Amino acid sequence: MRVITTSGADEPARVYLADLGAGRLVEFVESVQPPLPRDEKWVLLVSTLLGCPVGCPMCDAGGDYGGGLTADEIFSQIDFLVRRRYPDGRVPANKFKVQFARVGEPALNPAVLDVLRGLPGRYEAPGLLPSVSTVAPRGTEGFFERLAEIKDELYSGGRFQLQFSVHTTDAALRDRLIPVKKWGFSEIARYAENFHREGDRRVTLCFALGRDAPVDPAVMSDHFDPELFLLKFTPLNPTYGARRHGLASYIEPDEPGKRYEILDRLAEVGYRVLLSIGEPEENRIGSNCGQLLRRHLDAPEKLPDGYTYPLERRQGV
């Protein structure tokens, strides 16, 4: 693997664009969460596919799908970031989060399971916390069965995070925002009930919330147990996909103290609700969810509010 372009800084985040050989390009990210130092929390976001076949309209990673990465290719991203900071493989962070969420739907690649099995023995990292973010495509039931087994075997007691991307309770709109055959709410809820054990983290339902995307507390209560699920709300980040499809964010990233009625209503019916905005600089870097540095480099007309951080070009792309 050869890193050819980077964007960002040691704080809050840096994106790496690398060539795996034969022009197969992959992206991965390392980030911190100011004011927390790196030895308190360090987050890696790695790719699992070359592009993504799902094609969510707010995400720049869709299209140009080139198949799944091997376990070695996924590990090469993690190894690069770990050895760059900690050559001896000892990661001192109290929370060392490895998130399979940069490019690609992880449930479409069984190699992710091999990486999850190999992670604990690969580094000396007592704070290791893997995180799988998924839209739960149909036909991946075997992946999720094995995922539950691996979690129970290697990551019990709250050392694993499972996130389902939901975005809205409107079924027709959800199909447009996640244009692939996928589990319904009842299937997600049933799986989570079987997946969760005492001491585990709550299963997260993620909403990258658009202005016209309803979230009905009654629908949520009908399907999702507030004792089992955490609701996480994030802005729609500035992406070429969001601009092309006319999508605008309900959450205002420049107003971190703003209150939102729908979040309050969900809290009133018993849900634990997390508003996750992050650092505004990450939009400039291109490290936020839905962003893709490669898409920016290829775009003839650049976004005015994203990907504006200076690039370090190590080689021509």
Q: What gap in Å lies between CA 103 and CA 61, rounded to an integer? A: 6
Q: What gap in Å lies between CA 252 and CA 236, rounded to an integer? A: 9
The pLDDT score that the predictor gives to residue 173 is 98
The CA-based diameter of the chain, rounded to the nearest angstrom, is 54
For 78, 156, 175, the CA distances from 186, given in Å and listed in that order, are: 34, 24, 15
Residue 316 burial (C-beta neighbours within 10 Å; 0-12, 13-18, 19+): exposed
42-57 pLDDT, tens digit per residue, is 999 999 999 999 999 9
Which helix or strand (DSSP H or E) is residue 234 part of?
strand 229-234
Q: What gap in Å lies between CA 123 and CA 26, rounded to an integer? A: 22
For 32, 100, 106, 256, the CA distances from 280, given in Å and listed in that order, are: 13, 22, 26, 10
For residue 274, list its beta bridge partners.
Answer: 232
pLDDT profile of the chain (317 residues), mean per 10: 94 96 95 94 98 96 92 98 97 98 97 98 98 98 98 98 98 98 98 98 98 97 98 96 96 89 97 93 95 94 94 66
Question: Prior bond to 12 cis, omega within 30?
Answer: yes
The pLDDT score that the predictor gives to residue 278 is 84
Nearest to 306 by CA among 286, 288, 289, 287: 286
Q: What gap in Å lies between CA 27 and CA 47, rounded to an integer? A: 6
CATH class of the domain at 2-313: alpha beta
Q: What gap in Å lies between CA 221 and CA 84, rounded to an integer? A: 45
Q: What gap in Å lies between CA 3 and CA 23, rounded to an integer? A: 12
The pLDDT score that the predictor gives to residue 317 is 41
The domain ranges of the chain are 2-313
